[in-house]
Amino acid sequence: MGLPRYLSALESRLRRDPRIQNLIGPPLDAEAAADLHVEQVAALFRNVAPAVIAAAAGAGLLATLLIHLGILPWKRGTAWALYIAAGSAAHVLLRAVYRRAPPRRQTLPRWSLIFTAICFAEGMGWGWAPVSLVGAREFDSKMLIMAITIAISAGSIPTFSPYLPSLLLFFLAATVPYTLVSVTASNPMQQATALMMLLYITTVGGLGVIASRNFKELVRLRIQTNQLADGLRIQKEIAERANVAKSNFLAAASHDLRQPVHALGLFVGALRNVVMPAEGHRLVEQIEASTAAMDSLFSALLDISRLDAGVVDVRRTAFAIQPLLDRICRDHREEAQAKGVGLASVPCGAVVNADPVLIERILRNLVANAVRYTEHGRVLVGCRRGPELRVEVWDTGPGIPVDQQEHIFQEYFQLGNPERDRAKGLGLGLAIVRRMTDLLACRLVLRSEPGRGSCFSVTLPLARGDAAVLAERGAAAPDPPARGLVLVIDDEIAIRDAMAALLTGWGYEVITAGSGAEILTRVVSGPARPDLIICDYRLRAGETGIAVIDLLRSEYNAAIPAMLVTGDTAPDRLVEARASGLLLLHKPVPNGKLRAAVANLIQRPAGEAADAALAALK
């Protein structure tokens, strides 16, 4: 059997030995085992040069000393020193070749076997030295040689321990020959050293095996950590792709559903101007309530998309908190009374510095949740002053278990609604609250105990000044004039007809079209310049509302006030529409908001129109 095959077989037997297996740990899978072998070979070649050069130098000094003392014939001493030096040179040369062109994984076993063979040859050279380098009567000289050999064998542990076969073959080849010879020696003193050597081999050899095991364990942990990191990265990418797919699906579905809902709302608004019996008005009110419910569901989806797209602007201003709390409680009091739940707010004269629109949406969601999930008792809204103002919403509802308190801020997660009852919402309210508080850098805290209710608190920065003075800074929007020419561009016929009926009922003149080219043909012969352009954002054949508005403004060479109306919630399209600087309304648009936006855009100068309309909507 050749030496490489013998070494390979030895390694296999060592790995199958249960005692060795306990030391080196459980086997790795094929990929991890290959990675471990790469690290072992790299560590061998990284550490070998200084150690073997020092060993060669030690052999040369020892041979020179013994020759000088007349104990060792110079030919034998020189030959032995050259043998050790040749082994060291082989290691250094092999390292140089390895570093110049690191081998492929498939050839690594061959490199480790060559390295181990050189180790075994060097170990035999050191093991032969105390046995045959000097005569049997030169016991003192043998002890000197053996002391150097022991030092070299002990020093091999940090160098060769990354690869256990290399360590064991060098260590055993350097120490076992003297031990075996000493057992049968005639010198009692040498026989005694055999027992000492046996203890040394067992102890230091065991430490070497432990060092090899520790190295493998460290490498194993690093490999497993990298595998876990790769797995987490892959799972993160899968989750991100799934989230993008979900967002795209919701955007497409939302756009398609918003179109008929928007048209329905416009038709309902137009019906209010039609003379009909009382029963007809009652039915119109019920239809309007249903469309308002659908609008609230779509608004929740839109809020999530806008927040994820990063197109929500924060407009901080100083405002009194109490009128906002009164308005929210007033809007939800009827729902609370229908359930026999009390709803009240504790008066507070504080003035905060934040975005009033976003803060109202946050607190409105918290109060709506408290009323929805409280079956008896009361809901209380109050504030605590300190360095900042903490607005708290208390309820006597069922409470939230500790292990679920983080989950309730995730999209579509609801406690106690396995049947997905629409009356209990979509499960988006608290997800919107978390995103908005993060956007405003406000601290959101939940304290809850099952069976005793919950408390949500939002911390807001206090503003300097007096609430009454700050309230005087706002100016009431003027009454909108019900006159002017409005261009409506939308690729849905139902929406064009509904918009025309609604705006005509408000007193405006209306021209509708389904594209930019069509609206140009209808207005080109008209004597009057349009007062307002209302355009759908996404038209047919890839045309956008931004392009149509630019076309019409270019045709009239004037900055005609304009707004975009869209049912699209895709984040990239929201960013593009927001970047245009045009007022952007989302289908279905409540009639009150549409009327306020139209009036403000027509009345204000072009440069101020969008800001004025946006302020009116708030």
The CA distances from residue 94 to 89, 117, 159, in Å, are 8, 12, 15
Report pLDDT for 131. Answer: 85
Residue pair 562/526 in contact by the 8 Å Cβ criterion: no
SS (H, E, C) 456-476: EEEEECECCCCHHHHHHHCCC
Q: What are phi and psi of 372, to 5 degrees?
A: -65, -40
Average pLDDT over residues 357-381: 88
Quick check: 292 pLDDT over 80?
Answer: no
Quick check: 383 pLDDT over 90?
Answer: yes
Angle at CA 80, nearest 5°, toward 79 and 81? 95
Report pLDDT for 617. Answer: 45
Reading the block at residue 100, the tokens are: 């110049």
3-state secondary structure of 234: helix
Which residues are CB-contacts of 210 (< 8 A; sequence separation ≥ 6)?
Answer: 23
Confidence of residue 608 (pLDDT cuts 50, 70, 90): very low
* Biggest CA-to-CA distance, the chain: 133
Reading the block at residue 94, the tokens are: 């092999």
Report pLDDT for 58. Answer: 87
Amino acid at 311: V
Report pLDDT for 478. Answer: 43
Which helix (H) or strand (E) segment is 565 a member of?
Answer: strand 562-566
Which residues are CB-contacts of 502 (< 8 A; sequence separation ≥ 6)?
Answer: 266, 267, 269, 270, 591, 594
| Least confident range of 98-102, 150-154, 247-251, 282-286 | 247-251
Q: What is the pLDDT of residues 408-426, one digit of tens each?
A: 777 666 665 544 444 455 5
Report pLDDT for 464. Answer: 75
What span, in angstroms and rounded, lies between the C-alpha atoms of 449 and 447?
A: 7
Q: What are phi and psi of 4, to 5 degrees?
A: -60, -40
Q: What is the pLDDT of residues 38-56, one digit of tens each?
A: 777 778 888 888 888 888 8
Confidence of residue 4 (pLDDT cuts 50, 70, 90): very low
Report pLDDT for 533. Answer: 92
Angle at CA 24, nearest 5°, toward 22 and 26? 70
Peptide linkage before 588 cis (omega within 30 of 0): yes
SS (H, E, C) 79-105: HHHHHHHHHHHHHHHHHHHHHHCCCCH
Amino acid at 542: G
| Least confident range of 75-79, 80-84, 183-187, 611-615 | 611-615
Average pLDDT over residues 460-472: 62
Domains of the chain as residue ranges with CATH = 3-233 (no CATH), 317-473 (3.30.565.10), 485-617 (3.40.50.2300)
Average pLDDT over residues 325-339: 88
Amino acid at 348: C
Average pLDDT over residues 443-467: 84
Average pLDDT over residues 76-91: 90
Confidence of residue 165 (pLDDT cuts 50, 70, 90): confident
Report pLDDT for 535. Answer: 92
Angle at CA 28, nearest 5°, toward 24 and 33? 95
Which residues are CB-contacts of 607 (< 8 A; sequence separation ≥ 6)?
Answer: 559
Report pLDDT for 460. Answer: 92
Report pLDDT for 191. Answer: 82
| Least confident range of 255-259, 329-333, 469-473 | 469-473
CA-wise closest residue to 329 among 350, 345, 347, 352: 345
Quick check: 23 pLDDT over 50?
Answer: no
Q: What are phi and psi of 539, to 5 degrees?
A: -100, -175
Confidence of residue 303 (pLDDT cuts 50, 70, 90): low
Report pLDDT for 149. Answer: 86
Report pLDDT for 392. Answer: 94
What span, in angstroms and rounded, lies between the C-alpha atoms of 153 and 167?
A: 9
Report pLDDT for 111. Answer: 82
Which helix (H) or strand (E) segment is 584 a member of?
Answer: strand 583-586
How many beta carbons lie within 10 A of that of residue 397, not counting itself? 23
Report the DSSP beta bridge partners of residue 380: 344, 394
Instruction: Please identify which residue in the block is written with the tokens 């076992």.
Output: 176
Confidence of residue 236 (pLDDT cuts 50, 70, 90): confident
Quick check: 467 pLDDT over 70?
Answer: no
Residue pair 511/488 in contact by the 8 Å Cβ criterion: yes
Report pLDDT for 184. Answer: 80
Average pLDDT over residues 468-483: 46
Q: What pTM was computed for the model?
A: 0.43
Confidence of residue 257 (pLDDT cuts 50, 70, 90): low
Mean pLDDT score across all residues of the chain: 78
Report pLDDT for 130. Answer: 86
Highest mean pLDDT among 29-33, 75-79, 290-294: 75-79
Confidence of residue 295 (pLDDT cuts 50, 70, 90): low
How many beta carbons lie within 10 A of that of residue 410, not counting itself? 13
Average pLDDT over residues 275-291: 73
The CA distances from residue 44 to 98, 101, 161, 229, in Å, are 11, 16, 8, 27
Which helix (H) or strand (E) segment is 446 a member of?
Answer: strand 443-449
Quick check: 616 pLDDT over 80?
Answer: no
3-state secondary structure of 414: coil
What span, in angstroms and rounded, lies between the C-alpha atoms of 196 and 14?
A: 25
Residues listed for the chain: 618
Quick check: 486 pLDDT over 60?
Answer: yes
Average pLDDT over residues 240-251: 69
Confidence of residue 459 (pLDDT cuts 50, 70, 90): very high
